[in-house]
Amino acid sequence: MPDPPRAKRRPRVLRHGNDERVDEWYWLRERDDPAVLAYLERENEYTKAALAHTDARQERLFHEIKARVRETDVSAPVHKPPYDYFTRTFEGRQYQMHGRRPTGAPDGIDEEVLVDENALADGHDYFALGGFAVSPDQALLAYSTDVTGGERYELRVRDLAAGTELEEVIPDTSYALAWANDNRTFFYVRPDDAERPFQVWRHKLGTPVGDDVLVYEEADEMFYASVGRTRSDRFVMISVDSKTTSETRCIDADDPTSEAFVIEPRRPGVEYHVEHHHSPELGDRFFVLTNDDGADNFKLMVAPVASPGRAQWQEVIAHRPEVRLDDVEAFAHHLVVTERADALERIVVTRFADGATHVIAMPEPVYSAGPGANAEYDTTVLRYVYTSMVVPGSSYDYDMDAKVATLVKRQPVIGYDPERYETHREWATAPDGTRVPISLVHRRGLAHDGSAPCLLYGYGSYEISIDPTFSSARLSLLERDFVFAIAHVRGGGELGRHWYDDGKLAHKRNTFTDFIACAEHLIALRYTSPRRLAARGGSAGGLLMGAIANLRPDLFRAIVAEVPFVDVLTTILDEALPLTITEWEEWGNPATDPAIYALMKSYSPYDNVAEQRYPAMLVTGGLNDPRVSYWEPAKWVAKLRARKIDDRLLVLKTELGAGHSGPSGRYDAWRDEAFVLAFLLDQLGVDEPPERDRG
């Protein structure tokens, strides 16, 4: 084993008010300093050398993951007459091809290639497709690409009949795109220097990009803008949101130069999402999903298009403290509402003709389900996607009148037998008495004697729910008698808005103590033991990993922290960094609130690295990451190396040509996952299974 790199100490005093912190590795933020890149490269070399003994296992795991995948495959078609749209993968190719064929035509008949991501990615180490929008007449495609991982996209337009690019090339755009009904005009979004999408522009084909019209600019740095098109084809919608407040503007899709009108002016703390519905019988109206008037878990309102303001809102579904209304989708004849209760998703269908309402039945007690790609408006068929920790992702077409679901496509997993595994739910008890759900999957009949290796995953921020879904790569753990568990900690959205509120701002510590409670619960029930327990999380979930490593290192043998947000206080104090100001409503503003400053300082993983024993750790970063800057994991690892008093493995792997999401190609992503799994197996002392037990 080579000696690990030691980053030089260059102390810098960080002052805020009367408080001082000394940051010895602040200099790693200087991206243009050759010493920074040299340090990251040394860390990568050390990581490779330190885990060289797992090379054969990494290769074995990669081939296991690949062998379960039908490499040449096609997605479930999305209906948008006169075409069905799909994506296709090919053996040996990293990326998808996007295509279409006449509606109802068999797979492979009369297909057109819209975009081949492999061709676009040629010559680039990284590639990501951003916006992807077909014009209303389905003759043109607007799409955008990123080849650095920095999430700033270049926008182009393709003539689908000719298969050629138009002259328009628009650099420096964000994800969102929306066409007007004239098939010549589209709207797009630009980010500011802080990576905040803040401007909506209008472009007309055949005119210089320099003549594009700024339709909307959001001046408040707490808000970000997006643009989309209603399924009814009647409006282009500009959504402006902060973490706690929203506002929606509408543009007549038939008249793209018309002035946008506001549904309801923003009011602090009031969120709303708008869905348009039109029918000859019921006229033009907006469904409004909102938390107004104390509806913490949201309620559904309706208002006429001619006067859509709050004074005209009429209640359709009342607020229910035990049920969180997540989303609403309007079709010509039905309304589809997605809601959460008891940490599970439900899809509720209402028929406009008679008001009849029903919940779509699901086959398992622990699952994830929600509407899929639904491009048609005047249809009685809903596409929804179902999965669980034992059932691969499955696309269903559901007849909303007959209440019949037809399986269209299930993710093929070669050699997989779902009967070998079982999934269920446990509930841990947090220090304040709150019950915290845990979703688990493991081999059927696994002994509860504390000997099984276990991986506990967590996130717990932004009201994002980590639902119990299937992973074919995870099977490489389950085949080796792992327990895989998800801790549905506060800060997520699994149990409604209060679950989110109780894990943010002044209540952020609940996220960490909930995760610890889940680990203790699994140990108490003898699913595993501390010497066989690992934890994993990324981004804000990486903050969680850093916090639990400081608070309870004795509970975990290994931790995987991917692009971890660990230098919390320094980052949130720095308004010049990307996205910082928009984060204040999630974490608080330590610059103006002494209590938040003290709280952040008390839990920030980087600020609280101690002279103690730590679990073995694999830490990752991305040099081009605009969300969690590469220096956060780099500084954290440098400080851990200097302070920790154990000899357990600590490695840092920085992607030097990618961003927040890591490698972009599927084969590269599988190799990356094999690397992580090999680290976990090695640190938990897991032997290879007999050949007969491998899927």
> Rounded to whole angstroms, what are the CA distances from 491 to 469, 498, 503?
19, 9, 4
539 flagged as catalytic: yes
Q: How far is CA 265 from the centre of its chain?
A: 29
Catalytic residue among 239, 625, 629, 661: 625
Catalytic residue among 203, 276, 521, 660: 660
Catalytic residue among 135, 539, 604, 629: 539
Q: What is the dihedral of CA 268, 271, 276, 281, to 10 degrees?
A: -90
Buried b or exposed e, range 422-452, using 16+ CB within 10 angstroms: ebebbebebeeebebbbbbbbbeebeeebeb
CA gap 161, 138 in Å, rounded: 10
What are phi and psi for residue 116, nearest 5 degrees?
A: -105, 105
625 flagged as catalytic: yes
220 flagged as catalytic: no
User: DSSP E strands: which ranges in 331-453?
Assistant: 334-341, 344-351, 357-359, 368-371, 381-387, 394-399, 404-410, 421-429, 435-443
Which ranges of 115-179 would DSSP assign to H, the alpha helix?
A: 117-121
Q: Are 608 and 552 in contact (CB under 8 A)?
A: no
CA gap 461, 243 in Å, rounded: 11
Strand, coil or helix: 52: helix
Residues whose CB falls within 8 Å of the CB of residue 105, separated by 6 or more in sequence, listed in order: 84
Q: How far is CA 296 from the centre of its chain?
A: 23
Q: Are 175 and 166 in contact (CB under 8 A)?
A: no
- Residue 323 has what DSSP assignment? B
Looking at this protein, which amino acid is placed at residue 433?
Answer: G
Q: Which residues are designated catalytic? A: 539, 625, 660
